[in-house]
Amino acid sequence: MSGGPTINTIAARAGVSIASVSRVLNGLPTREETVRKVLAAANELGYVPNSVARSLKSRRTNQVAFAMADIGNPVYLAMIREIQPVLKAAGYRLVLHSTDADVGDEIDVLRSLGERYVDGLIMIPLRVTAELVTAITVARAPVVVIGSVPEGTAVDNVRTDSRSGLRLAMEHLHALGRRRIGFLNGPPDTVPGAARGAAYIATLAALGLPYDPRLVEVGDFYRLEGAQAAERLLARLAADGGAPGLDALMCANDLIALGALDVLRRAGLRVPEDVAVAGMDDVDLAAAAWPAVTSVSLGSAERGKAAAELLLDRLENGDRAPRAVTFEPRLVIRASTVGEETR
């Protein structure tokens, strides 16, 4: 055979796709039967399959990385508590990486997968750009994304519908008679910020309530920034007439809600008598606050476990079609909206 065997001739002999041959020869996880066929074809064609097999074995690190925006965020901690035991039971160690929600850092992590320091990656990006999507789809090791990705992206994906989750909380506030519902959001250029901001406006319209930009403030998904956003909102309303001007606060996550509680307390406003407060994520801190915060559970722990299971399945069945797993949001009602006596 002139020039020796090629990826095309091996694929033809094995009866598999060129992509499958490429995965085997590059040491990427692939079904055992596919590996056997490719190695057998390579052996028949003189492709030194023994060195290929040794390469496959040596490339395994038994480590999996989890890349998240902030390792201290209780949402990610809830995920880690579920991811680690699933991986450990399968013989893998978990490596943590904090990206600070920097897309460039996330792309670097994806590109470094070619160095085989881990066997796979679970990531939860807050900003999904075209360049990031490309890096995900060409990554040299299996990737599972927790969060929304563009339709048709070829990656295993675990997601939830935060828009409908925010709507659940807003409908709850409306049912309690609240009509001046303020909104404290995180950065609108993030996936959750954009989704929850759009849901707030859409839900107001569905409830027949007017949109008032004075009731909206943007900060970041942290307690301090949530407090600062609440201070700006209250100061603006006070300057417009001296009254609070709102009877409820919808917060884009629980950390923002906790910051808002601090500010409302300092302002002499009672929760929920004067201002009801609702958050999202249902982190442990929300339940432990005073008053305990009504929140939308987005299944953080469940999403983490599902992501780990998807990755393990991908490591064993590398050439299967991408799968998507969706969790429905659930409203958890607590004292910050209904009070202690009426819970």
Q: Tell which residue, 130, 137, 132, 143, has the closest CA to residue 108.
A: 132
Q: What is the dihedral of CA 340, 341, 342, 343, to 10 degrees?
A: 40
Q: Are residues 256 and 128 in the same domain?
A: no
220 domain-assigned: yes
Amino acid at 126: L
CB 62, CB 55: distance < 8 Å: no
Q: Tell which residue, 338, 313, 333, 307, has the closest CA to residue 94.
A: 307
Q: Are residues 90 and 166 in the same domain?
A: no
326 domain-assigned: no
> 163: which strand partners?
none
> 189: which strand partners?
none
Distance CA 75, CA 300 (A): 6
Q: Residue 230: left (phi > 0), alpha (psi -120 to 50), or beta?
A: alpha
Q: Are residues 192 and 277 in the same domain?
A: yes
Q: Which CATH number do you get for residue 54?
A: 1.10.260
1 domain-assigned: no
Q: What is the dihedral of CA 21, 27, 29, 30, to 10 degrees?
A: 30
Alpha helices in 45-190 (DSSP H): 49-58, 74-89, 103-111, 130-137, 162-175
Q: Are residues 192 and 226 in the same domain?
A: yes
| Beta strands 143-146 and 156-160, pairing class | parallel
Q: Are residues 141 and 75 in the same domain?
A: yes
Q: Tell which residue, 229, 225, 209, has the closest CA to residue 217.
A: 229
Residue ending a domain, choose from 58, 82, 98: 58
- What's the confidence (pLDDT) of residue 242? 57
Q: Are residues 130 and 256 in the same domain?
A: no
Q: Tell which residue, 39, 15, 27, 11, has the closest CA to residue 318.
A: 27
- What's the confidence (pLDDT) of residue 263? 98
Distance CA 196, CA 298 (A): 13
3-state secondary structure of 328: coil
For residue 149, the 8-state DSSP code is -
343 domain-assigned: no
Q: Are residues 168 and 276 in the same domain?
A: yes
Distance CA 7, CA 125 (A): 34
- What's the confidence (pLDDT) of residue 55? 43
Q: What are the pLDDT digits (tens) for 308-321?
A: 999 999 999 888 99
- What's the confidence (pLDDT) of residue 126? 96
Distance CA 99, CA 203 (A): 32
2 domain-assigned: no
Quote the number of domains for the chain: 3
170 domain-assigned: yes
Q: Tell which residue, 128, 175, 176, 122, has the closest CA to residue 148.
A: 128
Q: Are residues 178 and 134 in the same domain?
A: no
13 domain-assigned: yes
Q: Are residues 247 and 166 in the same domain?
A: yes
CB 56, CB 27: distance < 8 Å: yes
3-state secondary structure of 185: strand
Distance CA 330, CA 166 (A): 10
Q: Are residues 284 and 170 in the same domain?
A: yes
- What's the confidence (pLDDT) of residue 145? 98
Q: Are residues 244 and 140 in the same domain?
A: no
**Please, which contacts does 305-310 make with residues 24 or more away whose CB atoms are closer than 8 Å?**
305/82, 305/83, 305/86, 306/158, 307/79, 307/83, 307/122, 307/144, 307/146, 307/156, 307/158, 308/64, 308/82, 308/83, 308/86, 308/87, 308/122, 309/86, 310/144, 310/156, 310/158
Q: Which domain holds residue 13?
A: 7-58
| Residues in the chain, pLDDT under 50 | 1-2, 49-56, 58
Q: Which CATH number do you get for residue 95?
A: 3.40.50.2300
Q: Tell which residue, 158, 130, 131, has the closest CA to residue 143.
A: 158
CB 137, CB 153: distance < 8 Å: yes
218 domain-assigned: yes
Q: Are residues 198 and 233 in the same domain?
A: yes
CB 226, CB 255: distance < 8 Å: yes
* pTM of the model as a whole: 0.82
Q: What are the pLDDT digits (tens) for 232-252?
A: 999 999 988 755 689 999 999
